[in-house]
Structure 1
């Protein structure tokens, strides 16, 4: 009786299948990516920075215990947005010429207390954030988020009053026009010029 030989398995097709499966999983698998705060870093310059009046600076400090200090006093995170909003929108004096043109003028759209000891104008108001080396990243992000909310609320309020549309909707309409609609561009610029977002980070130090 003749010996039956076992048929050979073509391994070439198996390799092709494995390669196709590898490509499939690479294409369809999602990767978790750590997200951060989108912020444009300032460029190095040899220019002498302008002198800023102390009353136009809103100092925010976060110590190593993740405690928040605003203008030297302890503050809860939940109160930070309203405090920043009040500072930015104070309108207690004259501002810089808007858009670099014209003359210095008072803020006729501000609804603050016009306290002479607080910020003169939204375009002069500077929010300074200083954190300790031991500050938790989550706390730092939460603080930044509350400060950005203050600017967003003020821009949205002015946009509703001026154009009867929310600022996010105005920006969306401008982006959907491929940034070509000059009228929408002018409106977005108008709002941003009147509430410029001025947030500065001081290099981490040992904040007690």
Structure 2
């Protein structure tokens, strides 16, 4: 009786198949990328530039110590309370603002819903938020503070846009982008809301704790 040989499996192409699968997974797999915080750096002023004098009441001072404690205008504050405190400061409307585009001189804020406290900010376009952090503080805390401040501006802009156009600012901005940034009517609305509540956030040089 003849002896039957076991059939052999041709493994010559296995390496090619594994290589193709590797390429497939490399091409189709998405990777998370931390985009960070979008910041636009200011342009360098000319040599003879004379900076404007800023009233102390128009500055919302935020500081973070090495223990990640949050201070606002020298007083301790919880992160959860920062957004509302920032909105109250920005929207105070206690005086005359800088001239808006097309205006010769500044006017009082006729759209602000704040307390009109003369000891707080004069106008949203004069309200400056200043952040000072310690070099030993956590970056995550700094990012959380930035997020709360951006939420404050977003809510103020959305509220004004709803009053004027029955649409949130986010909806107007999204529609403008969908138009390929070509719709002049939407462009004018976006600029008007942004000029009404300009996002003015400055970062001071980090302090060095001892």
- Common fold by TM > 0.5: yes
- SS of 1:127's partner is strand
Q: Displacement, 1:116?
A: 1.0
Distance in 2 between residues matched to 1:60 and 1:100, nearest whole Å: 33
* Alignment partners' CA distance in 2, 1:71 and 1:199: 15
Alpha-carbon distance in structure 2 between the residues aligned to 1:146 and 1:125: 16
Q: How far apart, CA to CA, are the structure 2 residues paired with 1:203 and 1:31?
A: 33
Deviation at 1:16, TM superposition (A): 3.4
User: More displaced, 156-165 or 39-48?
Assistant: 39-48
Distance in 2 between the 1:157 and 1:102 partners? Answer: 27
1:34-71 Cα deviation digits (max 9, x unpaired)? 34212222233333432211111100001110101101
Distance in 2 of aligned mates of 1:30 and 1:119: 46
Specify the alignment match of 2:89 in structure 1. 87
SS in 1 for 2:80: helix
Q: Distance in 2 between matches of 1:116 and 1:86?
A: 13
RMSD between superposed Cα atoms in Å = 2.1
Where do 1:93-108 residues align within 5 Å?
93-99=95-101, 101-108=103-110
Larger relative contact order, structure 1 or 2 (CA cutoff 8 Å, min sep 6):
1
Asked if structure 2 preserves the Cα contact closer than 8 Å seen for 1:133 and 1:206, the reply is yes
Aligned length: 203
SS of equivalent to 2:202? strand
Unaligned runs of 5+ in 1: none
Return the TM-score normalized by structure 2. 0.89
Q: Which secondary structure does the structure 1 equivalent of 2:114 belong to?
A: coil
Aligned twin of 2:116: 114
Question: How far is 1:100 from its partner?
Answer: 5.9
Q: Indicate if the aligned counterparts of 1:84 and 1:147 stay in contact, CA closer than 8 A.
A: yes
Q: TM-score, with normalisation over the residues of structure 1?
A: 0.90
Give the Å deviation of 1:164.
0.5
CA separation in 1, counterparts of 2:200 and 2:209? 22
- 1:3-42 aligned within 5 A: 11=12, 13-42=13-42
Gaps of 5+ in 2: none
CA distance in 2, matches of 1:49, 1:18: 65
In structure 2, how many angstroms separate the alpha carbons of the residues matched to 1:96 and 1:33? 40
